[in-house]
Amino acid sequence: MSEEKKLSHVTSEGKVNMVNVAEKQITLRYAVAKAIVDLPPQVVERLTQNNFQVAKGSVIQTAIIAGIMAAKKTGELIPLCHPIGLDAVNLDIQINENQLVILSRASVHAKTGVEMEALMGASVAALTIYDMCKALSQDIVIKEIKLMEKSGGRNDFKRES
């Protein structure tokens, strides 16, 4: 019989708590998150004509920097996340028809995983794209922010798409 899964941030008494990782081993933790930003065709056309430059600057480069900064601040923004010193955070943003596809990768040698940092990076990069493009249209949709992969902890995970 398989082990029943329990919420890690809730005690048996139903109280919120931060997971104690004191007894865990330090391992290489890695995670990849993905976000998709749907853009109206006229916005894509305008962006590609101007090499993704808008009045506020480079949409892609600004989103990458924002995503990296956000991943580094995850422990400050998500109440029960452990603050960790990331070894690396990388964001890649590609255009796919009328979508910008964001991949956020985070890694660390630690006692706890980095999926929240990868998800935070992808989320804030998507929000930054919205912010920089909203003057062109508010018909921008951020969707499918999801964990694609994680490894190095008790349970590895990999999603195909």
Cβ-in-10-Å burial (0-12, 13-18, 19+) of 127 comes to middle
Is there a catalytic annotation at residue 131?
yes
Catalytic residue among 38, 87, 92, 131: 131
Tell me how far CA of residue 53 lies from CA of 83, 90, 136, in angstroms.
Answer: 34, 21, 12
Are β-strands 27-38 and 141-151 bridged in parallel, bridged antiparallel, or unpaired?
Answer: antiparallel
- What distance in Å separates the CA atoms of residue 35 and residue 124, rounded to the nearest whole number? 10
Q: How far is CA 109 from the centre of its chain?
A: 18
CA atoms within 13 A on the CB side of 76: 6
Residues with catalytic annotation?
A: 131
